[in-house]
Structure 1
């Protein structure tokens, strides 16, 4: 089962936000994340808040779109009553789980709920995640017709034995087909990859990169496999059934990915993300890294407005009960103090290609930059231009760079 929610203060029953949330809101972008917590099967490595049909107990997939729309309108009411200026959504992102397990009309109804509740900026980015085996050309065309602009396919690997270890069920031969369907519908395409799976060789990883690049997507994400406590894969590793991932091999895989993607015309813009150009960066994910505001809809979703962060109850049945009763679905929240916000700003911006303006760092952090340049973790040319940007080696050691910047 998914991990526990964070420990923090109880969320108020009325959902109202403190005055801090409204400060400077007019200068920040606003996004909406819609979590669809349903999967056909639970992959052995996954720690996301997802549920198969047998785990729903008191909730129905068929009711979910209407429940999400209720939260969207509840959210608009809360922001208005809390004095947070109304802003149209600049990005909308459907994640999961597998959003495309729902009928296309359900996703469209949820998207229309965003537009009705908050409005939509001209040129807004509207993305859904999808498994390659959960869509066809007609489904993708319906989404594009309704205003979706982008689809992110969970490819993970092109190698059957790697997919088997991850317990992914799609046929890797289907990837080029779904990518072409999405392009034909007029959607931008991202492919998500995972590297460092037990038993995956450098040649296996190269094969997956070759296949992904050959599909000519607009964007590619490549994430190292993280073994999350409580997952089936963690238990398999603990029992010796599956080998522990090799960190040195994962580093080699990252360097291979960065080199191959760069040669193919993709530029990195965040440690795990590459795009053909600035226009194809994931604007929604960038909003997380740059500290913008977003409302998270659905069980276990997290939201953030002006330094106030909260998260919803986890189980779809508990969420449905709250929505039916017209109550806030929030389970807990925290208000970040200035020191915590600054540490998070450094932690997140350091991972991006745009980096951090050196003038915004505290004097002790600026002092640390010289040593980071000497250790070839920070780009010297960018630093001379007043900006902290990680080198490829620095990206592999991003957490260590952050610790030195914040004096830990």
Structure 2
């Protein structure tokens, strides 16, 4: 007898997200759980994360080897190769790493220029995600970055010699940025030869320094219509250069260079979140759980030591909440999502009459039960998802 697979869970991918919260400089647009690095003894936090990984084994007896490990932050490139190797060994000992497991390290350009890249590779890292953010000095100053354009180029050129699988992050739709300026900058980035680009529109969150500047009237965000024009320009240029979008903000030279870890998020897989403020999604006995670790590093360390978990909270999700999350994430990717997964969770059909309207407007396509958004539809992804949500 064939057992039907659940519409979510580790069969859609299984990974670990490790959050390193320290940064040498906190950027004015950043809304992540980050703290100034200063002169800190990092060993207590490394030890706590190491222990937290091991503690998850007992909670997840049915989970097999890991597909991915992702070091994010913060600035995890501040970690030494030996510290990274130590955390990867904890993952390997607790769960096992698949032979082709993707291990990503987020890195700042200045760290790349001084890092022991071969030491990172020997520790187990096989993919770098480099926070270039711009190749224009005035933009880098505006974004509060601690590198210049020369350093950014040099970092990518140095990294790609050791890590063929690299990603470059950029932020566009900055105030007053013109289409011509962005087209020139994107062309310069493409010329660096990175096989993966993450191209994000500047989002201004209320709690950030930029958010406070907007409240004061000191900063005026780009008009949404102008942002949409830049998004369409981005798709056209990247497509022509052989890096089509496989997700709203992510472009890859081929399927081999797509972010396998982020694909776990988009496809409804499971991931363990360890480190201060890390989020996770885990399947236990057929139920989906959302976890969030304690945000303050000291509180996280104390929780691991005293309670046997870094979690601040872990709660079971209602099937309807899971269905809405799967739909929102699944419509971000070019392949879309099988609506059967949504309907199995919600117990009711996704409205085909609304989808028919989306098809007429060239916003979406439906083939059997698989729905995906067109490039034009991705501009309206949030609104279209809200229309279809159970």
Q: Give the alignment partner of residue 61 of structure 1, picking from 36, 42, 63.
A: 42
Which stretches in structure 2 are left out of the alignment for 5+ residues? 1-5
The whole-number CA distance in structure 2 between the counterparts of 1:100 and 1:189 is 14
Residues 235, 24 of structure 1: alpha-carbon distance in 2 compared, 3 angstrom cutoff: closer
Deviations 1:144-186 (A, max 9, x none): 1222110000111111221111111111112332222222213
Instruction: Determine if the alignment matches structure 1 residue 363 to structure 2 residue 346.
Output: no
Deviations 1:174-224 (A, max 9, x none): 233222222221341100111122232223322321121011111101111
Q: Report the counterpart of residue 250 of structure 1 in structure 2.
A: 227
Q: Give the alignment partner of residue 161 of structure 1, picking from 130, 134, 138.
A: 138
Shift of 1:77: 2.9
The whole-number CA distance in structure 1 between the counterparts of 2:100 and 2:297 is 32
Could you tell me whether the CA contact under 8 Å between 2:102 and 2:261 is conserved in 1? Answer: yes
The whole-number CA distance in structure 1 between the counterparts of 2:354 and 2:187 is 39
Could you tell me whether the CA contact under 8 Å between 2:75 and 2:106 is conserved in 1? Answer: yes
Residue correspondence of structure 1 range 263-342 to structure 2 within 5 A: 263-306=240-283, 307-325=288-306, 327-342=308-323
Q: Report the counterpart of residue 400 of structure 1 in structure 2.
A: 383
Instruction: Determine if the alignment matches structure 1 residue 351 to structure 2 residue 328.
Output: no
Residues 183, 337 of structure 1: alpha-carbon distance in 2 compared, 3 angstrom cutoff: same
The whole-number CA distance in structure 2 between the counterparts of 1:248 and 1:148 is 40
Q: Report the counterpart of residue 200 of structure 2 in structure 1.
A: 223
Shift of 1:353: 0.7
Residue correspondence of structure 1 range 168-183 to structure 2 within 5 A: 168-183=145-160
Q: Report the counterpart of residue 34 of structure 2 in structure 1.
A: 50
Instruction: Determine if the alignment matches structure 1 residue 119 to structure 2 residue 96.
Output: yes
Q: Report the counterpart of residue 73 of structure 1 in structure 2.
A: 54
Q: Give the alignment partner of residue 18 of structure 2, picking from 34, 40, 45.
A: 34
The whole-number CA distance in structure 2 between the counterparts of 1:384 and 1:110 is 43
Could you tell me whether the CA contact under 8 Å between 2:248 and 2:332 is conserved in 1? Answer: yes
Deviations 1:220-264 (A, max 9, x none): 011111111121111111112222222112111111111110000
Deviations 1:357-376 (A, max 9, x none): 35555534222111001112
The whole-number CA distance in structure 2 between the counterparts of 1:225 and 1:368 is 30
Q: Report the counterpart of residue 85 of structure 1 in structure 2.
A: 62
The whole-number CA distance in structure 1 between the counterparts of 2:270 and 2:374 is 29
The whole-number CA distance in structure 1 between the counterparts of 2:367 and 2:260 is 28
Which stretches in structure 1 are left out of the alignment for 5+ residues? 1-21
Could you tell me whether the CA contact under 8 Å between 1:141 and 1:182 is conserved in 2? Answer: no
Could you tell me whether the CA contact under 8 Å between 1:289 and 1:348 is conserved in 2? Answer: yes
Give TM-score, length-normalised by structure 1: 0.87
**3-state SS, counterpart of residue 363 of structure 1:** coil
Could you tell me whether the CA contact under 8 Å between 1:70 and 1:323 is conserved in 2? Answer: yes
Shift of 1:61: 2.4
Could you tell me whether the CA contact under 8 Å between 2:128 and 2:163 is conserved in 1? Answer: no
Residues 211, 62 of structure 1: alpha-carbon distance in 2 compared, 3 angstrom cutoff: farther
Could you tell me whether the CA contact under 8 Å between 1:126 and 1:150 is conserved in 2? Answer: yes
**Runs of 4+ in structure 1 over 4 Å off:** 22-26, 358-362
**3-state SS, counterpart of residue 292 of structure 2:** strand
The whole-number CA distance in structure 1 between the counterparts of 2:253 and 2:49 is 33
The whole-number CA distance in structure 2 between the counterparts of 1:208 and 1:76 is 46
Shift of 1:26: 6.3
The whole-number CA distance in structure 1 between the counterparts of 2:144 and 2:209 is 10
The whole-number CA distance in structure 2 between the counterparts of 1:326 and 1:332 is 12
The whole-number CA distance in structure 1 between the counterparts of 2:367 and 2:278 is 40
Q: Report the counterpart of residue 3 of structure 2 in structure 1.
A: none
Give TM-score, length-normalised by structure 2: 0.91
- What is the CA RMSD across the aligned residues, in angstroms? 2.1
Could you tell me whether the CA contact under 8 Å between 1:356 and 1:389 is conserved in 2? Answer: yes
Number of equivalenced pairs: 376
